[in-house]
Amino acid sequence: MSISLKLLMYLAGKCAYTIDEIARSFEMSSRSVFRYLKKIEEAGFVVEKRSGKYKLATNSPNYKNLQRLIYFSEEEAYIFYRAVSEIEGGTPIANRLKKKLISLYNFAALQQGDYQAETIKVQTITGAMKKQKRLKFIQYRSSHSGEISDRIVEAFDFFDNYQSVWCFDCQDKSVKQFKLSRLARIEAMEESWFFTAKHKEPFVDGFRMSGPNPIAIVELQLSLKAYNLLKEEFPLTEKNITKIDDNSYHLKIPIADYHGIGRFVMGLPGDIVNIAPEEFKVFIKEKMKLLNY
């Protein structure tokens, strides 16, 4: 989201802010604040100034359109946050919604409770991205290497609805995705980015696995149960599914790594058949052997 749009949302609430308050919130100079205010006015909005404080005038020609399309007031955002927080079980979708609210709205209510640690992670990473500074991920639990270690990274974009972040790993000299839930904590560093030119997202398949390029096209025949679970757990795969009949579906999808789709297949024995290519069938068989205690 652009700074201009974020500033629009910031000024559209009930509160008014001084230039210094806006500058601190957006980590910019007072001169930059005035420049963005001018852009907002040029876009057809009226910015009120009263007693040295600024807010968006409700009589702006585009004010109602702004509220209808993109804006939650601070009170509405808080009510929405509380409602999402009360969903039993803390579902992944609920957690994603909370993280999005935190990233878009600057209010202290979202800093409270058990969610505080995750909030701090998102905001620390966001701050480092804005300043183009490196981060130190403390005690990252890597499933790939099976190790717990510290990582020096250049984080450049969030992924999977704020559950993961794309980073350039300064030790391995490669782009990787890091899951925030596997981080003990994050330390901001003073070192600036050095590998900016390499901040490019790799190919990501529908099972959230990444790699330089697809390693294969996998085809599966799914039962209705498998089809429903696939859409619910991995919604980006839906465009790769075709219906055979009311009880069977065909999946044909490029894959970056067999582990992601493999976990899904092994969790539904009897509901997935006609697996291709042969290389993936061999992969599944080898993994299944490890389940024979």
22-42 pLDDT, tens digit per residue, is 988 888 889 989 988 888 887
Same domain, 285 and 233: yes
Q: Which residue has the tokens 């876009």?
A: 43
Residue whose token pair is 């927080």: 85
Give yes or no: residues 197 and 214 share one domain.
no
Confidence at residue 55, expressed as pLDDT on a 0 to 100 scale? 87
Same domain, 285 and 222: yes
pLDDT at 113: 46
Mean pLDDT for 2-6 is: 71
State what percent of residues in the chain have pLDDT above 70: 76
The least confident of 98-102, 125-129, 207-211 is: 98-102
Query: Above 80 in pLDDT, residue 3?
Result: no
d(CA 5, CA 128): 20
Q: Could you tell me if 197 and 124 lie in one domain? A: yes
pTM: 0.53
Q: Which of 181, 201, 221 is the last residue of a domain?
A: 201
**pLDDT mean across residues, the chain:** 82
Q: Which two tokens stand for residue 48?
A: 């009120």
* Residue 222 backbone phi and psi in degrees, to 5: -110, 140
Which domain covers residue 21, as residue numbers? Answer: 3-71
Of 201, 234, 263, the position where a domain reaches its end is 201
Number of structural domains (the chain) is: 3
CA distances from 24 to 12, 122, 272 (A): 18, 18, 54
- pLDDT for 158 equals 84
Mean pLDDT of 193-220: 91
Q: How does residue 163 score in pLDDT terms, banded at 50, 70 and 90?
A: confident
CA distance 115 to 99: 9
What's the confidence (pLDDT) of residue 271?
Answer: 94
Residue 5 has pLDDT above 80, yes or no: no
pLDDT of residue 83: 62
Residue 107 reports pLDDT greater than 50: no
